[in-house]
Each structure stands twice: as C-alpha cells, then as structure tokens.
Amino acid sequence: MPRLKANPVRTLDAESLPTYLTEYINNKRLCDELTKRVGSMKATMMAYLEEHGVENEKGHRSIVVDGVATITRQRSVSTDLDEDAAEEWLVEHELRDQVIHEVTIEEFSEDDFFKVLFERKVPQDVVDGFNVTHEKFSFYVRGE
C-alpha cells in the first residue's frame, strides 16, 4: 500500500464517507467560487487604484482606507537585452564574430541508446535496469 505524504486529519469509515465526500464537494465548489470572486474583486480594486491612487517616486500607487487597510499596486521594472537589435548593430559594425559564437551541445539520444542495446543483443534484464519508474498520486472527485 502506498504511503501518504501527510497524515490524514481524521479516519473515515464506509458509513461516514458519503456525508464527508458531500461536504468536501460543497466546500471545493465554494472555494472555487470564492477564488473567482476574489480575483474579480482584485481586478476592480486595481482599476480603482490606477485611477485614484497616489503614486510615489518608485511608481507604486497606494490608497489608505482608514480603519481597514492600505491597498497598493506595486511597480517593478526589469530590463532585457533585445538580442535581435543588438545583433543587427553588430552586423552593421562588422563585429558579429566577436560576440556570436557557435556552440556544440552534447545530447543523449534515447532512441540511439536502445538501438545500440538491440544491435548488441543486450539481455532484457540489463535493459530493464536502465528504466526508472516514477509513481505519483492525484486526487479526483467526479460527480454522479
């Protein structure tokens, strides 16, 4: 029997399973509905922040809601190199060869490996030794 990663909170018996499963389905449905609602509410508040928030020197927008909380739309900036534009510039200035390098990458071909094993008539127990089995478990509930 597979070992569970976490200990169950309670033990069930066949008699209590239908009630417990019904409660689970109802709570899961409620959780999904709340997740959608919270996402929609967040989008609404972000739009309100965009229009009415006070922006600081870093570009963050905030509104203090007295007695409740402060809501903030935090700005972050990242910079990436436009490699196409950079390469175009390098070509124009005849500098491409100083920056662009050919790289050889080793790749393990599983098909070629098994072809070698087959051609050499490697015994099946040796071949089986190269296989690794991974096991995982997923939990699904499908309604009737």
- Tell me the pLDDT tens digit for each residue of 68-82: 999 999 999 999 999
pLDDT at 138: 75
pTM: 0.58
DSSP, res 2: P
User: Measuring CA to CA, how many Å separate 69 from each of 10, 52, 109, 126?
Assistant: 37, 16, 57, 65
Which residues does the chain have with pLDDT short of 50? none
pLDDT at 36: 97
pLDDT at 28: 95
